[in-house]
């Protein structure tokens, strides 16, 4: 379990900050910093269901665990929404809390996030710092931008004959089914790993390394093999 705390003092009263946070118009405005066009659907009553959505109906859902007018709003996250369909996840104690308290300078807004994590705080901060201080986050995600502009396309008879090994980690989503992948790739090795996710090399390094070694052993020693840079995949 990991807990993250963020706070800021806003020169306004608690009731104004509260309305800015949860009024539909202003909620859409401040959350656009994370995802343009995002919004929430809920009755905003304690115990009510809430969906945090993007314009294409993807996002997360949960319940309003606690609501104290002008003082606290806490959400308990339950799962993801993909193409408008809810998928419950095993997110024990995954909460997001917004707390307001009046001070002499204005209103202190504190945001508390709790989540399960296989990483320590030092590991997370070290990893984030590598991108933050070197200002390289843009180049690190350039691949995703380029893929969206020119996605990989297979013609009817296209096929990659190079032997492919795939380690499918449980939380690596979305992930196409094996039959779909085999339409274009020569899949010789497939392992369903019940733990881990997108950052498999950092989350479950031993399981990933052992699976790569096993795949290499299955290949004819004279064959060349290469590792694909995406999480959990080698070829």
Query: What's the average model confidence in pLDDT over 104-117?
Result: 90
Per-residue confidence (pLDDT) for residue 73, from 0 to 100: 98
Closest by Cα among 112, 121, 98 to 5: 112
Query: Is the pLDDT score of 232 beyond 70?
Result: no
Q: What is the pLDDT of residues 118-160, one digit of tens each?
A: 777 788 889 889 998 999 988 888 888 888 888 888 888 899 9
Annotate 111-148 with DSSP letters as a single string: EEEEE--SS-HHHHHHHHHHHHTTT-HHHHTHHHHHHH
CA atoms within 13 A on the CB side of 13: 4
Report CA Rg, the chain: 22
- Other CB atoms within a 10 A radius of the CB of residue 32 amount to 12
2-117 CATH, one of 3.30.1360.40, 3.30.2010.10, 2.130.10.10, 3.30.530.20: 3.30.530.20
Asked whether 60 and 77 are in contact (CB, 8 A), the reply is yes
How far apart CA 232 and CA 165 sit, in angstroms, is: 9
Indicate the pLDDT class of residue 77, thresholds 50, 70 and 90: very high
Query: Which contiguous run of DSSP H or E holds residue 16?
Result: helix 14-22
Per-domain residue ranges of the chain: 2-117, 160-234
Take residue 120 and report the two structure tokens written for it: 């320590």
Edge-to-edge strand list for the sheet holding 233-234: 185-193, 160-169, 233-234
Q: What is the pLDDT of residues 24-60, one digit of tens each?
A: 999 999 998 888 899 999 999 999 999 999 998 889 9
pTM value surpassing 0.75: no
């Amino acid at each position: 379990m990991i807990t993250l705390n963020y706070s800021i003092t806003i020169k306004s009263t608690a009731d104004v900050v509260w309305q800015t946070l949860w009024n539909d118009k202003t909620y859409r405005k401040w959350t656009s910093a994370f995802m343009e066009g995002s919004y929430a659907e809920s009755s905003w009553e304690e115990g009510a269901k809430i969906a945090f959505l993007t314009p294409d109906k993807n996002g997360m859902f949960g319940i309003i665990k606690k609501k104290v007018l002008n003082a606290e709003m806490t959400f308990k996250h339950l799962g993801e929404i993909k193409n408008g369909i809810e998928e419950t996840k095993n997110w024990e104690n995954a909460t997001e809390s917004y707390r307001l308290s009046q001070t002499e300078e204005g209103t202190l807004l504190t945001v508390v996030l709790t989540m399960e994590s296989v990483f320590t705080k030092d590991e997370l901060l070290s990893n984030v710092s590598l991108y933050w201080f070197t200002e390289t986050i843009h180049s690190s995600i350039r691949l995703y931008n380029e893929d969206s502009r020119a996605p990989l396309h297979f013609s009817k008879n296209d096929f990659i004959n190079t032997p492919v090994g795939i380690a499918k980690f449980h939380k690596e989503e979305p992930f196409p089914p094996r039959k779909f992948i085999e339409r274009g790739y020569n899949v010789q090795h497939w392992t369903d790993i019940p733990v881990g996710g997108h950052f498999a090399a950092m989350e479950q390094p031993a399981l990933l390394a052992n699976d790569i070694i096993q795949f290499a052993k299955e290949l004819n020693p004279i064959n060349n093999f290469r590792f694909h840079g995406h999480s959990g995949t080698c070829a």
